[in-house]
Copies of this chain bind each other. A is one copy, B any other.
Amino acid sequence: MPKVEIIAVGSELLTPERMDTNSLWLTAQLNELGFEVSAKTIVGDQRERLSEAFRQAFEWADVVICTGGLGPTEDDVTRDSAAQALGISQVHHESLWVELQEKFARMGRVTPANNRRQALVLEGAESLPNPNGTAPGQWRDPQGPGQKPLVMLPGPPRELKPMFLNHVLERLRPLAGQNVLLRRILKVFGLGESALDERLAHLYPQHPEVVVTTLFTPLDLEVHLAASAPTPEGCLERIMPLEEKIRQELGQYCYGQGQQSLAEVVGQLLLERQATLVTAESLTGGLVAQRITEVAGSSQYFLGGWVCYSEAFKHQQLGVSWEMLREHGAVSEPVAYALAMNARQQSGADYALAFTGYAGPSGGTEQDPVGTVYLAVATPAGVETKRIQFPGDRELVRSRAAQAGLDWLRRHF
């Protein structure tokens, strides 16, 4: 598969707050076309360092794509550095300059003299129109032996994406490999990363043509299966036999695929059964309802929920007796039970999920330290409860408890 290197330009991409997210989008596009991204470099607004990065990329990759640094100021060094790396000059395109002046005129402004830089095009390159900004892109075909195609794109995603789709994609297609790369994602809940590895490791050597990576997120585990072949169908032919084995090995632990969330899968199951759901959340504070209602169409099965954060709220709105709260405490199996049962009865829903626990950082008791969670699920068949002890901080405990509740409900269908 031909190699692409991506160079992202801009000092702001070297701060602790911003990342180069363009390259993720570009990688997905390039993989689908049949290119592999073999390296990414992020350089600040330093001419010499950037030139060197271009020289390296030209040496190692089959195509070089750079993003950003095409603006009108001194700091916008991409054009100069690319020219320097290639040992070529830049040419003023009068037509670009006229267009730029027209753009500014439409905004009722005079074009600053600085912007003249944006009419410079690398010798041998064509400019690519940018309807969403002032910086034109550039495409440069190899002009001699050993040279590589160069693509220069503006940094803002809403300028970069349409330019790539409208002007770069078709130019890249003939350079793409015989093969395309396809990736399938399996979503897994309830297994740790090493437990997952132990279950699956013996399968990988049977399918060396599939690249497997596992991704551990705060929500769940993902197993990525990637293969390349001349067609997407060919990729699937390579991936599916392994995917089948993995699904068999994981059984109920695998809840979905692709971008499906657990809340979406639960929603689908409720929809198929024409069943309805309510939630009663203390610990998770609305997070479960939020995940459920993130899914478009969730109003077809989700009636609503209570965020019963205080004892008074649990008593007044969901009929948990003061006596029970005094005797067992709000974080207890009987209270989780009562919340689920009352939520179901009070709303007339088919299912109710309830969550109580200690998210931390403070709270907890000796028997029930921070991280202790009581879940309850009320179904037409009765009420069940479960105690789980989660590691991690406040955010992780809440997030994992929410996921554990949804997963438990899923397993009731």
Contacts and interface: CB of A to CB of B under 8 A. Distances in A.
A28 to B, nearest CB: 4
Contacts of A191: none
Nearest to A289: B286
Contacts of A361: 296
Interface in A346-364: 346-348, 360-362
Interface stretch (A34-42, A86-94, A119-127, A167-175): A34-42
Given A302-B309, A307-B286, A42 B39 contact: yes
B286 A290 contact: yes
A141 interface: no
Interface residues of A, number: 76
B40 A41 contact: yes
A252 interface: no
Contacts of A14: 27, 36-40
Nearest to A285: B293
Interface of A: 12, 14-19, 21, 24-25, 27-28, 31, 36-44, 46, 49, 52-53, 56, 59-60, 183, 185, 213, 215, 222, 224, 226, 278-279, 281, 284-290, 292-294, 296-299, 302-310, 312-314, 316-317, 346-348, 360-362, 394-395, 398
Contacts of A42: 39-41
Contact of A304 (B31, B294, B317): B317
Rank and list the top 3 A-B pairs by shortest CB-CB distance, nearest first.
A285-B293, A286-B289, A286-B286
A94 to B, nearest CB: 27
Nearest to A213: B12
Given A28-B16, A290-B285, A294-B285, A299 B310 contact: yes
A66 to B, nearest CB: 14
A24 B17 contact: yes
Given A14-B40, A39-B49, A52-B56, A296 B362 contact: yes
Nearest to A330: B299
